[in-house]
Amino acid sequence: MKGLIGVLGGMGPAATVDLFNKFVTYTVANKDQEHIPLIISSIPDIPDRTEALLNHGKSPLPLMTDYLKKLENAGAECIVIPCNTAHFWFNELKEACHVDILNIVETTMNEVLATKKKNIGLLATNATMSMGLYQKNIESKHLNCITPDKASQEQVMKSIYLLKSGNKKMAERIMKEQANLLFQKGAEVIVLGCTEVPVILENETREYPDKYIDSTSSLVRASIHWYENRMDKQNLIINKNG
Amino acid sequence: MKGLIGVLGGMGPAATVDLFNKFVTYTVANKDQEHIPLIISSIPDIPDRTEALLNHGKSPLPLMTDYLKKLENAGAECIVIPCNTAHFWFNELKEACHVDILNIVETTMNEVLATKKKNIGLLATNATMSMGLYQKNIESKHLNCITPDKASQEQVMKSIYLLKSGNKKMAERIMKEQANLLFQKGAEVIVLGCTEVPVILENETREYPDKYIDSTSSLVRASIHWYENRMDKQNLIINKNG
């Protein structure tokens, strides 16, 4: 099927389910056949990204590259990666494959700029924080990036690993506290800059959609846009030749 | 990664999300790397299965075979198909590939027998009903199969297509009525013999888990069992050689 989108997932699996679910619910479709074609790798033995970046853990790049190639071989014409921290290796992955890769930091930043807000909170992994993946982008636009202090960041990380181990309830309690602390520090909107966070804060974002920018949702919306463009081009070619 | 399970999905996409979600929530895992490796095809241009079987529609078999091969080429060692109606072509699909395929009717029937109940209700597509996919199995075990009458079956089908077109609320209202009618007709437990039905009756099955046998859940449980056996054998080989 034309326009096949490959999902390099499993980092973690619950975040990949969330992305897939958002693809299905955000797509306007009247029947199965109108949905967006996806091939999803949720092979979770990719080494932990934060461990690799901060604690000299094994690099995830070889397996990420391997699974990326599986998706390309299966016919994917565009790749999305529902893991913010993995975007540290974005350039290496882009070089390793021959198709488009949408960048979650870019798709999220586009939605941040569209809000016209000045004070942007950030919930993300230690590694995403350390790399400045979002802070640099936010500050380069002359916006104020509000992040948790050291003790709070430990709680954010604890919550993310609690979700990964299946304890969503406890993860949610902790993450809601940390979101509230960012609002108290002046955040007008909070970037959920780790794809586990929208899973953890599912109830909160449903109740207050305008208070959060969900990186997974932004990636899905950009993917649907990519797909629609791809199909428009396809139709132009058919009209021209037919 | 050893033990990779391929999911031949997209029939429909919401049912495939449901299966994936159940894989993640049913697996006991303390970190990403302990989850079950999956490669999921959700390429939804496969022709409608019920249309093919009952209204001389295009056969879904060529595309199902094509996508099955994509999964096999990507390294899948076992295939699952979260669509009951598609199991009409089970033997053809099994012949077309070189790896295990778990049969959703078998995994569901195993759970039916385990309940020791005698009066088994059935909610499924028109095509699954016409083929007698479940009825023959249930009756061969000397159990009583209770199905909707003609007008009710039209409502069941309407609910399934409503979900496929994104109207879950209306789908739920209709399907709940049809489930209640089966209980009134004497069903002790109802087989959800179409993978869209557990998505539609999500709230109902959460509230009354013992009243339903969800074909998707049974397939996921059997897959996890397959994976654990596969890993045990792998460990035996490592112990023997190492």
Q: DSSP letters along B97-150, please?
A: -SSEE--HHHHHHHHHHHHT-SEEEEE--HHHHHHTTTHHHHHHTT-EEE---H
Tell me which chain A residue has its CA closest to the CA of residue B196: A32
Over residues B4-15, the mean pLDDT reads 97
Both structure tokens of B232: 């045990």
Range(s) of chain A covered by CATH 3.40.50.1860: 5-103+217-239, 105-215
Quick one: what percent of chain B has pLDDT higher than 90?
94
Over residues B7-27, the mean pLDDT reads 97
Considering only the beta carbons, identify the residue of A20, A30, A41 that sits closest to B17: A20
Q: Do residues B15 and B195 make contact, with C-beta atoms less than 8 angstroms apart?
A: yes
pTM: 0.96
Q: What is the pLDDT of residue B235?
A: 78
B48 contacts on A by Cβ (under 8 Å)? 31-33
Quick one: what percent of chain B has pLDDT higher than 70?
98
Nearest CA of chain A to the CA of B11: how many Å? 7
Contact A40 B39 (CB under 8 A): yes
- Between chain A and chain B, how many beta carbons pairs sit less than 8 Å apart? 134
Q: What is the pLDDT of residue B242?
A: 57
Both structure tokens of A91: 């350039």
Q: What is the pLDDT of residue A98?
A: 94
Q: Residue A70 CA to chain centroid, in angstroms?
A: 20
Q: What are phi and psi of A7, to 5 degrees?
A: -110, 115
* 3-class state of residue B5 by DSSP: strand
Best CATH choice for the domain B5-103+217-239 from the list 3.40.50.1860, 3.30.450.20, 3.30.420.40, 3.30.200.20: 3.40.50.1860
Q: Do residues B205 and B182 make contact, with C-beta atoms less than 8 angstroms apart?
A: no
Q: What is the pLDDT of residue B232?
A: 87
Contact B13 A23 (CB under 8 A): yes
Q: For residue B68, give the amino acid letter.
A: L
Q: What is the pLDDT of residue A235?
A: 79
Q: What is the pLDDT of residue B1?
A: 75
Confidence class of residue B54 from pLDDT cuts 50, 70 and 90?
A: very high
Interface of A with B (CB under 8 A): 1, 4, 10-14, 16-17, 20-21, 23-25, 28-35, 37-48, 70, 73-75, 161, 164-166
Give the number of C-alpha atoms closer than 13 A to the C-alpha of residue A118, restricted to the C-beta side: 2
Confidence class of residue B199 from pLDDT cuts 50, 70 and 90?
A: very high
- Mean pLDDT by groups of 10 residues along chain A of 242 residues: 95 97 95 96 96 95 98 98 97 96 98 98 97 96 98 98 93 98 98 98 97 98 97 77 62
Q: What is the pLDDT of residue B233?
A: 82
Catalytic residue numbers of A, as ranges: 83, 194
B23 contacts on A by Cβ (under 8 Å)? 13
CATH for A105-215?
A: 3.40.50.1860
Confidence class of residue B150 from pLDDT cuts 50, 70 and 90?
A: very high
